[in-house]
Structure 1
């Protein structure tokens, strides 16, 4: 068996990245775009000792769970890795992914798993999109999405996960660039002006924001772009974000408002939020309300609790919790996000939420040590964490154990690091009581999960 050999594979499982898994002569092969139940002809493209990667060449027998993808670009784009799988099976895959990671990485044998929370309509759910801008071989300006694991732009203004208004906005931006000879950024040379178009929409408010990320400090004829964009219903904010660095990081540090407000508003449950171009805000507001509702349910607040919300962003979960808690403390590393959080608290008339700028893995341990030095015990009834994909820092987990809150609510976007962190907490006095996956990113392999841990007497 060697590279470029072709195999007939029965796809029996799917990997964490959505690739189909089949076996031949004791070797495991990962086949992108194949789904469970398919029989495929595949060409080996890479071989390791016990496994390999193969390219789907021909679908010989379609799985009963295979469906026609909504988007013609799904194989090239790579953003919707499992769009060819029925939505029912997608939910099953994601629930199993969380369960398997808790078993394999966390070492849990009895998992209090509750049914995954899916969507009634798993398309057009994204309230935010970032479109790279470039030129094609003929020199025409194009925008769309990067092909999987590349920076090659696939021209596509009609993403099945985004909102229909995105195309209207992108058409206006490209027409403007062509009319006024505004150049697109070229990653290879570092020249050209417009790098990305960021679009945000408030689902409840119907407010819309357009932000052009530029390789410069100003946009020639910007007033003409504003004039065209203002004709779109709900347009609220048009801005520039300046990023002149040779980097693949999308946003720069300075944002200039061309017209309107510097933010749009949106509402989740009874709480309104101000969202700027750089704010972290969940991209699926329908599922976010369910996700935060679960976090609030798991926190089991009765009005007398002190709660710490770590990695709080613009205060999305904090303000949810503050409706039922006595006092909430939020921690976030991004200063602008904390300013948003404070404004959001005022906007909603919430006076029992206080916010701190800093790394959660530094702020909470420093608070604990300061209280200990003063002869007091740092206290929390509930600690909520919603960390980035890398999970929680070990020092932070250690401080949580020392503070010994009655309950820990862990909101996770990566079930592998979630399992690792839960194992640490459950080895030091906590018991896993509830787990539920939430399909926040339909048609992709990613899923959110919410867990509740209770302190047990040791």
Structure 2
């Protein structure tokens, strides 16, 4: 490849990639340019030369797209938390539909050309939607700052007014940094000092209740800080400490302890209410979660006789939408605290047909089948890594009659559909914009077992 690092050239952007970057060709070589939009002519400089592609930095937009807008966030380029805020919002939705189509074309599950891809469902007001934040901390010139690391680095970008973060949670984290400074709470430093590494703040949309987790690598005294914080924010009902002593990029350690208040906050979605303990997973965008779960309910099309398995069930939230309509509901998750939440939530909802276990779906489901349980319907909502290979094998082996796959990663979804499409028909895929201004989307896939011709 004759292209060199620091080389500059003009590039025509042909499309956008999975991370929101512009993609063009120079000397028949793929060039990725963050910040460039489809249809633009840009002037860029090469930053890295790989075996099959080149990465470049945007220097100037010679001919801008008519859909380019000025990002409202002053930290947009430095932060890296959002990738496509410079693209007009309606076109962001088109981009996310295209992302899914790109992923399907790459992995080519059976019949993918004929899949019904429905337009992405967006938000009316795509701001301040994140009900949960996880900010890293850093001590700078005697003051504690909180924010996110700049992309591909450990350089902290302090954030005090995020355009996509719930404004109450932002106000809480801002005051937390003031109190951490005031009370001289030790702050973690990778090179020499133990202390607070990360602070999580989550707010329930329905009740307004707030919970916090202080992730720390060493013993810290938060008594005075908590007292002053809850006086200013009476909505705070839970404060926890998570112990994370290893040098790793994982956000949390294994042990979490409630140090003030109650064990969980209360949240609602669709027509039911549930509890969330500090470590339990729940969607980041409560407003769009209503849409997402509603689409899952439509896609599974429960008739009333079904035995349903909710894999990766978390605190039970998706499964509860079906619980009173099915014969039985079973769920599992690898986080024990989430399963305890699911059990408590099921009891609070008066469900006597729900059963939950902590563990791996790929181990629990085969055991249930050996014990005689048979699922007619399955719903899966895996992490970004997609379905475990053994779980895929389990699904293909036992083949529940119908299935809904809720995905937060179009690439792993398309990969998993290669196996699933061997036994299931993909009726349609509905994309829901859970993360405006980012290159991520969420999808609901309706699958039904293929009929074997006689």
TM range (shorter): over 0.9
Distance in 1 between residues matched to 2:50 and 2:395, nearest whole Å: 41
**Would you say 1:45 and 2:47 are equivalent positions?**
yes
Shift of 1:150: 1.3
Pick aligned residue for 1:148 from 148, 151, 157: 151
* Equivalent residues in 2 for 1:57-456, closer than 5 Å: 57-107=59-109, 108-136=112-140, 138-189=141-192, 191-220=193-222, 222-368=223-369, 370-371=370-371, 378-427=373-422, 429-456=423-450
Distance in 2 between residues matched to 1:387 and 1:174, nearest whole Å: 34
What is the count of residue pairs matched by the alignment?
Answer: 448
Structure 2 partner of 1:36: 38
Unpaired stretches in structure 2, ≥5 consecutive residues: none
Distance in 2 between residues matched to 1:311 and 1:408, nearest whole Å: 14
The alpha-carbon distance between structure 1 residues 438 and 167, as it changes in their structure 2 partners (threshold 3 A), is closer
Unpaired stretches in structure 1, ≥5 consecutive residues: none
Distance in 2 between residues matched to 1:399 and 1:2, nearest whole Å: 48
State TM-score, norm by structure 2: 0.94
Distance in 1 between residues matched to 2:400 and 2:257, nearest whole Å: 43
- Contact conserved, 1:125 with 1:162, CA < 8 A, in 2? yes
Shift of 1:104: 2.6
Distance in 2 between residues matched to 1:2 and 1:126, nearest whole Å: 41
The alpha-carbon distance between structure 1 residues 415 and 135, as it changes in their structure 2 partners (threshold 3 A), is same
- Contact conserved, 1:158 with 1:167, CA < 8 A, in 2? yes
Distance in 1 between residues matched to 2:52 and 2:377, nearest whole Å: 45
Distance in 1 between residues matched to 2:156 and 2:30, nearest whole Å: 32
- Contact conserved, 1:266 with 1:273, CA < 8 A, in 2? yes
- Which shows bigger deviation, 400-409 or 145-154? 400-409
Distance in 1 between residues matched to 2:431 and 2:250, nearest whole Å: 29
**Would you say 1:18 and 2:14 are equivalent positions?**
no
